Structure formats: structure tokens, C-alpha cells
């Protein structure tokens, strides 16, 4: 019945694509839209605001060692014991964390969707081989992989990035594969095969676009996970190396000086928590809007 209604009520010539309909639904979710605003603000602060300061986060201001919070001064949230501006360092750390988070997530999603779609659509021995590989990687301890990468590539940002991607792409590839398996027996895929399309064409034109719902929801979750993974690795000292900073390293430093100067922990911690919180709400909103059960 609802189909007939949309067919009648919607008299305009261009149809509303399912993707656009989902975005419309998302934009009606106030909490999610507000969270998007918060995320945009955080990104803007991390990427633009450091340019307004006359010094960088690594420049020590020996005149103001361990300066207190004074919003009117040049160091609004004070400095650490080496005279580095706390606020600026947090922003610059955020830049690193967000970059890693978003790019890590995007790369993981692309890799996992392609991998999952190929395995799920082709099925049979290829599927079995590809998915057992994923199983083996999943059952290998993550820390072991990270240390291995560190040994091979050194403690560079590239190796951290690789570690994040390797840690993240496995689960979504399983999800993408199950999506592809369920698509494989849908009639429109039969129709495409009867229409003479090759497997590669079908994967690109039918399977991947129809996995996009699940992927969009999951990728926002991946950003969150990527940021957490990076922070976790940096906290352990396997991530960003000094003098560069990320929220993870800043929190690690802050934790060591918790008793003497809690600001060092609170400021990056608050940024990280706020980011994760708004990402959570965005994920929730996306999931509601792109509910895969609702075609």
C-alpha cells in the first residue's frame, strides 16, 4: 500500500533515490545533526585555530613554565612544565588523531567492502580461502601484529596507519561479505547475469552500491574505532612518536603527571570524549536513517 501512496503522492519527475531519502531522514534527527555540528567545530578548531597562534605546540615559552589557566593571556589554558601551550598542543594532537581516524576508516572501509563483495559474490573456494585468511588474521593477537609492523617499518606514522587499518578492516569485511552473499541470490542479480554482465561488472554496479547502507553506518563507527585504536597505541608508546603528539600521547603524558597537574589529562581527555560522544550519536542517527531492513 505504501508503494502505491508514494507512487501517487510523488508526482515530480525525478524520483527520490533511496540514498537521498536516507539523508533526508538523517537530517530530521536533531541530536545527530547537532553532533555533526560539534564534530565540524572540533575539526575546525583542530585544523584552523593553530594557524592563529604565533608559535607551535612544540615551542617552549620559558617565561611561562607551568602557567595556570588564564583565558585572557596568550596561553588560555596555561602551559606544561616545559612551557608548551597546552591548548595548542591538544589541538595539534587532535589534528593528528582526526586525520588518522578519518583516513584509517576510509581506507579500511574501501578495502573491506571490495574484499567482502568479491568473496561473497564469487562464493565457493575463493570465498572460503579469502574468509579463512580473515579468520586467521582475526585470531592473531592485534598487539603481535602491531609489534611486527613496528619491527618491519620502524616506529613511523606510516606503520601506525597500517596498524590501524589492519586492526579495523577485518570485521567490516565479514559484514560486507554477508551482505554480498544475501545479494547474490536476489532476483535482480539473476537479471543482471541473464543480461550478460560479467562478475566484475555486477560487483561494481550492483553489489557494492547495494552494500552502501551497511557500509555508511559502519564506516562512521570505524572513525570512532580508528581514533580509539590510535589513542590506545599511542598511549602504549607504539603510536605517534615525540615530539609529535596526538590525543593518545597527550593523555599518556597527562596520566603520568595526574597528581601534579591534572590539566594535562583533562584537556585532551575532554576533547577525545566529546569527539567520541558526538561520533556515537552520528552513528546512531545514520543507523536509524539507513536501516538495512528498510528498503
Residue 209 lies near another protein (rule: CB under 8 A): yes
Residue 125 lies near another protein (rule: CB under 8 A): no
Distance in angstroms (rounded) separating the CA atoms of residues 40 and 147:
34
Nearest to 206 by CA among 123, 295, 286, 117: 117
Q: Kindly state the DSSP code that residue 85 receives in the 8-state scheme.
A: B
Indicate which single residue of 24, 191, 255, 273 sits in contact with another protein (rule: CB under 8 A). Answer: 191
Residue 293 lies near another protein (rule: CB under 8 A): no
| Per rule CB under 8 A, count of chain residues that contact another protein | 33
φ, ψ of residue 85 in degrees (nearest 5): -70, 125
> CB under 8 A: which stretch of 10-18, 91-99, 135-143, 173-181 binds another protein?
10-18
Least distance from another protein to the Cβ atom of residue 130, Å: 17
User: Would you say 73 or 182 has its CB closer to another protein?
Assistant: 182
Indicate which single residue of 67, 149, 162, 192 sits in contact with another protein (rule: CB under 8 A). Answer: 192
Least distance from another protein to the Cβ atom of residue 8, Å: 6
Distance in angstroms (rounded) separating the CA atoms of residues 40 and 234:
24
User: Would you say 13 or 152 has its CB closer to another protein?
Assistant: 13
B/e letters for 51-61, b = 16+ CB within 10 Å, e = fewer, are eebeeebeeee
φ, ψ of residue 79 in degrees (nearest 5): -125, 165
Indicate which single residue of 186, 262, 270, 273 sits in contact with another protein (rule: CB under 8 A). Answer: 186
Distance in angstroms (rounded) separating the CA atoms of residues 229 and 167:
8
Least distance from another protein to the Cβ atom of residue 19, Å: 7
Residue 3 lies near another protein (rule: CB under 8 A): yes
Least distance from another protein to the Cβ atom of residue 149, Å: 33
Burial class from Cβ neighbours inside 10 Å (0-12, 13-18, 19+) for residue 8 reads exposed
Distance of CA 276 to the CA centre of its chain: 10
Distance in angstroms (rounded) separating the CA atoms of residues 169 and 154:
22
Indicate which single residue of 62, 144, 152, 295 sits in contact with another protein (rule: CB under 8 A). Answer: 295
Residue 5 lies near another protein (rule: CB under 8 A): yes
Indicate which single residue of 190, 200, 243, 255 sits in contact with another protein (rule: CB under 8 A). Answer: 190
- In terms of phi and psi (left: phi > 0; alpha: psi -120 to 50; beta: otherwise), the region of 66 is left
Residue 199 lies near another protein (rule: CB under 8 A): no
Show the site string, 12-31: x = touches another protein by CB under 8 A, - = not.
Answer: -xxxxxxx------------
Distance of CA 160 to the CA centre of its chain: 15
Query: What does the binding site for another protein look like in residue numbers (CB under 8 A)?
Result: 1, 3-8, 10, 13-19, 186-188, 190-197, 201, 205-206, 209-210, 212, 295
Amino acid at each position: 500500500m505504501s508503494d502505491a501512496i508514494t507512487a501517487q503522492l510523488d508526482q515530480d519527475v525525478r524520483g527520490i533515490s533511496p540514498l537521498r531519502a536516507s539523508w533526508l531522514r538523517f537530517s530530521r534527527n536533531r541530536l545527530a545533526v547537532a553532533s555533526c555540528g560539534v564534530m565540524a567545530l572540533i575539526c575546525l578548531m583542530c585544523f584552523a585555530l593553530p594557524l592563529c597562534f604565533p608559535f607551535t605546540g612544540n615551542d617552549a615559552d620559558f617565561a611561562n613554565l607551568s602557567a595556570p589557566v588564564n583565558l585572557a593571556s596568550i596561553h588560555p589554558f596555561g602551559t606544561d612544565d616545559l612551557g608548551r601551550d597546552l591548548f595548542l598542543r591538544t589541538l595539534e594532537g587532535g589534528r593528528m588523531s582526526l586525520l588518522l581516524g578519518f583516513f584509517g576508516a576510509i581506507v579500511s572501509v574501501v578495502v573491506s567492502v571490495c574484499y567482502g563483495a568479491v568473496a561473497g559474490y564469487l562464493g565457493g573456494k575463493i570465498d572460503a580461502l579469502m574468509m579463512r585468511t580473515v579468520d586467521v588474521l582475526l585470531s592473531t593477537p592485534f598487539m603481535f601484529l602491531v609489534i611486527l609492523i613496528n619491527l618491519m617499518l620502524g616506529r613511523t606514522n606510516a606503520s601506525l596507519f597500517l596498524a590501524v587499518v589492519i586492526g579495523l578492516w577485518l570485521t567490516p569485511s565479514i559484514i560486507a561479505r554477508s551482505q554480498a552473499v544475501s545479494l547474490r541470490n536476489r532476483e535482480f542479480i539473476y537479471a543482471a547475469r541473464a543480461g550478460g554482465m560479467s562478475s566484475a561488472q555486477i560487483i561494481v554496479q550492483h553489489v557494492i552500491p547495494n552494500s552502501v547502507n551497511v557500509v555508511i553506518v559502519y564506516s562512521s563507527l570505524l572513525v570512532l574505532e580508528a581514533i580509539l585504536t590510535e589513542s590506545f597505541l599511542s598511549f602504549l608508546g607504539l603510536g605517534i612518536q615525540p615530539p609529535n603528539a596526538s590525543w593518545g600521547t597527550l593523555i599518556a603524558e597527562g596520566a603520568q603527571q595526574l597528581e601534579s597537574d591534572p590539566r594535562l589529562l583533562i584537556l585532551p581527555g575532554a576533547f577525545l570524549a566529546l569527539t567520541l560522544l558526538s561520533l556515537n550519536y552520528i552513528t546512531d542517527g545514520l543507523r536509524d536513517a539507513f536501516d538495512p531492513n528498510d528498503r
